[in-house]
Amino acid sequence: MLTTADLTAIHETLTAHFLRADDPISPPGVKSLHMLASAVSNSASDRTAWAVRYRGV
């Protein structure tokens, strides 16, 4: 499972990669760490709920 830190690092890498592109990622940086952490948490709980619901499928 990816963590908030993992996703932030991916975002920073992509931002640096496309810095000189015709359409760079701007403004750089994650807009809301709270929202990112929430999305990571929801993703983890959704996988857990799916695994419980469809156990044995």
Report domain extents, the chain: 4-53
* pTM for this model (two decimals): 0.66
Peptide linkage before 28 cis (omega within 30 of 0) = no
> Each residue of 1-57: pLDDT tens digit?
889 999 999 999 999 999 989 988 888 888 999 999 988 888 766 666 666 667 766
d(CA 20, CA 16): 8
Helix (H) or strand (E) holding 13: helix 4-17
Which pair of tokens denotes residue 11? 């975002």
d(CA 57, CA 29): 40
